[in-house]
């Protein structure tokens, strides 16, 4: 089974930038508790989807930022 990529370079870069912001906020103690956990999970999903180049939520809505 081949997974079709549906994320472009800008989309992936913006997600990784968001991950960096979340990491800094967590490291400086700006966010904590449930907020830190929720944003940490979001950062993990953003990292995984950026590395793979595919966002499963894009398929049902027909979104493709890949530019192909």
**Tens of pLDDT, residue by residue, the chain (68 residues):** 788 899 999 999 999 999 999 999 999 999 999 999 999 999 999 999 999 999 999 999 999 999 86
Whole-angstrom Cα distance, residue 65 to residue 51?
Answer: 15
- Helices 33-52 and 9-27: crossing angle in degrees, nearest 10, is 150
Confidence (pTM): 0.88
Helix (H/G/I), strand (E/B), else coil: 46: helix
Has residue 8 been placed in a domain? yes
Whole-angstrom Cα distance, residue 45 to residue 42?
Answer: 5
The single residue listed with the structure tokens 């966002």 is 55
Has residue 5 been placed in a domain? yes
pLDDT at 68: 61
Domain that holds residue 8: 1-50
Q: What are 11's two structure tokens?
A: 């989309």
Query: How many domains, the chain?
Result: 1
The single residue listed with the structure tokens 């993990």 is 44
pLDDT at 1: 73
């Amino acid at each position: 089974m081949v997974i079709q990529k549906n994320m472009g370079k800008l989309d992936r870069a913006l997600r990784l930038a968001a991950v960096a912001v979340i990491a800094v906020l967590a490291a400086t103690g700006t966010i904590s508790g449930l907020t830190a956990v929720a944003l940490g999970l979001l950062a993990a999903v953003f990292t995984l989807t950026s590395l793979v180049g595919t966002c499963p939520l894009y398929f049902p809505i027909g979104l493709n930022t890949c530019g192909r």
